[in-house]
Amino acid sequence: MIGADAPREWSLDLPTGRIAGLRAGEPGAPRVLALHGWLDNAASFVPLAAHLHGLDLVCPDFPGHGRSAHLQPGADYSFAAAVHSVLDIADGLGWERFAVLGHSMGAGIGSLVAAACPDRIDRFVAIEALGALAETPDRTVQRLREAVAATRALQHKRLRVFPDIASATRARMQANALSEPIARLLVERGLVPVEGGYIWSSDPRLTLPTMLRTTEEQVRDLVAGITCPTRVLFADPAQPYLPDALRRERAALLPCGDLRILAGGHHLHMEDPAAVADAIGDFLSR
């Protein structure tokens, strides 16, 4: 919540399908679009929202996540498509300019939006990601083959049915090293009831490998193109896929950015929201 008000349900109809989410704060305050991580949902920002004040904070479920609609068959859950989802959401809100607050995948997508549309992004807070996951050129063919094979095989896979919310929460706790209350926030928004229990509401296509990734050189050019004031927050210890030295090198490329390292895990904005809010300070409301 922001102030005394809990986040309220919010939705928007786009040509690609319904976008659901949460909204907190007051219209007329500085506009912030909060972008969650991979297989998370808008509830990712509920703990942090209670510590952020004076904002109009909109937290959408990305397409295929949470309570938002899945993309049509044959559509692609690529970062490029997600960039247009962010812009479509902003357009639907009537926001010409706004700030972005992103976590993990959301910070990666936010990086692309900030670099591609400098005329629309006022400020950017990136938590636990900056730029995109890179790939070495010599893995291009291997990644392509694996992604195509996984995509063709997906139609034959059956979804896991959880007998109750508690068992789904335990599975999420094990997968992401989350505490029970934090995992439950994400799980309760990320399940749909079926005969015999519950299944994840997220589109199974989201679990497919990315067919093509950018190189590290391309990622560095992307980060260097983020011209808006940017604050980057990373957890200590670093994630294996983004070692500390590399993330510091990327952050140093920002024309107008600063880097802050906080003790915690990958979901530190949920597990220790007060510390993350302190690190953000008034950056988003200036």
Token digits for 107? Answer: 């910070």
pLDDT at 87 over 60: yes
Per-residue pLDDT tens over the stretch 108-134: 999 999 999 999 999 999 999 999 999
Residue 280 reports pLDDT greater than 50: yes
Per-residue model confidence as pLDDT tens digits over 235-272? 999 999 999 999 999 999 999 999 999 999 999 999 99
Kindly give, in sequence order, each residue whose CB lies less than 8 Å from that of residue 11, ignoring residues fewer than 6 positions away: 18, 19, 20, 21
Residue found under tokens 């505490």: 179
Amino acid 242: pLDDT = 96
CA 141 to centroid of chain Cα atoms = 28
Vertex 242: Cα angle to 125 and 35 (nearest 5): 30
| Residues ≥6 apart with Cβ < 8 Å to 47 | 182, 185, 269, 270, 271, 273
Place of tokens 């895990």: 265
Average pLDDT over residues 99-108: 98
Catalytic residue among 104, 111, 201, 202: 104
Position of tokens 């934090």? 182
Q: 21-41: b or e for each residue (b if 16 or more CB lie within 10 Å)?
A: bbbbbeeeebbbbbbbbbbbb
Catalytic residue flag (residue 104)? yes
Mode of pairing for the β-strands spanning 98-103 and 121-127 = parallel
Fold for domain 8-137+214-285?
A: Rossmann fold (3.40.50)
pTM over 0.85: yes
Q: What are the structural domain ranges in the chain?
A: 8-137+214-285
